[in-house]
Amino acid sequence: MEPSKVALSFGAHPDDAEFFCAGTLALLHQKGWQIHIATMTPGDCGTIEYTRDEISNIRRAEATKAAAILDGQYHCLECGDIFIMYDRPTLLKAIELLRKLKPTIVFALSPEDYMVDHTTAGKLAMTACFAGGVRNVETEGVESFEPVPYLYYMDPAEGKDIFGNDVRPQMVVDISSAFETKEKMLCCHESQRNWLRAHHNMDEYVASMKRWTSSRASLIGVPYAEGFRQHLGHAYPRDNILKAELGELVHLV
């Protein structure tokens, strides 16, 4: 049976996908893939000016608008910023989402990253992919599914672990032809410019994404690129479906 052409970006916060994998999602969309973008939280602490409820509503709307650019859907698992837990209730939320969507490809946050929300969300995605087919893990109203999805980890922020060491990708996707779409999606997240400037001392929200995407592209000599590593552990698929789908745009490095 042919695998379903469903791709899911499973992040921690709204705008994670736009920073790290939206170009690749856009390329898959051009190939006829159905796109879903999910986050563990609505980004309820990413603000210096709104209440938790206000910023959550704003950011859900921004994420929905960004996903719609790829004719995609946005999903929020409604955890709280800083309090994404690797526990039974949260895992069941993640497993239920995967069983509803039945993705063939899942993009997850890096196992090494600058903050615990990202690393915990990556672990939740990894386990949800594996547990999607475990029948005795029950999710009410949603049945288990096989096979285990292809799992790719996005780059960590700035391509570094918590010690400042470089985290090198296994593959780099040339997203130059889809960069305008990636930029348009990121620009949907208007609420984050003031927050990042105040808390991270980071201005030029889109410019910082351009610099990073250009940096990854320098590995393969193109204008813009995104880096990934594939989860190749036992029971996970080991052939490279991204390479099969996107061909010469995927460079092994």
pLDDT band at 206 (very low <50, low <70, confident <90, very high): confident
Q: What is the predicted pLDDT for the residue at 200?
A: 66
In the predicted model, is pLDDT for residue 198 greater than 90?
no
User: What is the count of structural domains for the chain?
Assistant: 1
pLDDT single digits (tens) 165-195? 999 999 999 999 999 999 999 999 988 877 6
Query: Percent of the chain at pLDDT above 90?
Result: 89
Supply angle C-alpha 102, 108, 112, rounded to 5: 155
DSSP H or E run through 26: helix 22-30
Please give the model's pTM, rounded to 2 decimal places.
Answer: 0.95
Residue 179 structural domain: 6-252
Given a cut of 70, whether residue 97 has pLDDT beyond it is: yes
List Cα–Cα distances, 71 to 65, 74, 139, in angstroms: 10, 10, 27
The answer to which of 7-11, 44-48, 104-108, 211-215 has the lowest mean pLDDT is: 44-48
Q: What are phi and psi of 142, to 5 degrees?
A: -135, 125
The separation between the first and the last C-alpha atoms of the chain, rounded to the nearest angstrom, is 31
Residue 199 has pLDDT above 70, yes or no: no
In a domain, 224, yes or no: yes
- Dihedral sign for Cα 242, 245, 249, 253, please: positive
Residues 40-84 pLDDT 10s:
999 999 888 899 999 999 999 999 999 999 999 999 999 999 999
How high is the mean pLDDT of the chain?
A: 95
Strands of 6-11's sheet in order across: 73-76, 34-39, 6-11, 105-108, 150-154, 225-230, 171-174, 250-252
pLDDT of residue 47: 86
Instruction: Confirm whether 227 is domain-assigned.
Output: yes
Q: Which domain CATH number covers 165?
A: 3.40.50.10320
Is 92 among the domain residues?
A: yes
The answer as to whether 1 is a domain residue is: no
pLDDT per residue as tens digits for the range 151-167: 999 999 999 999 999 99
Least confidently predicted of 79-93, 114-128, 137-151, 200-214: 200-214
In a domain, 225, yes or no: yes
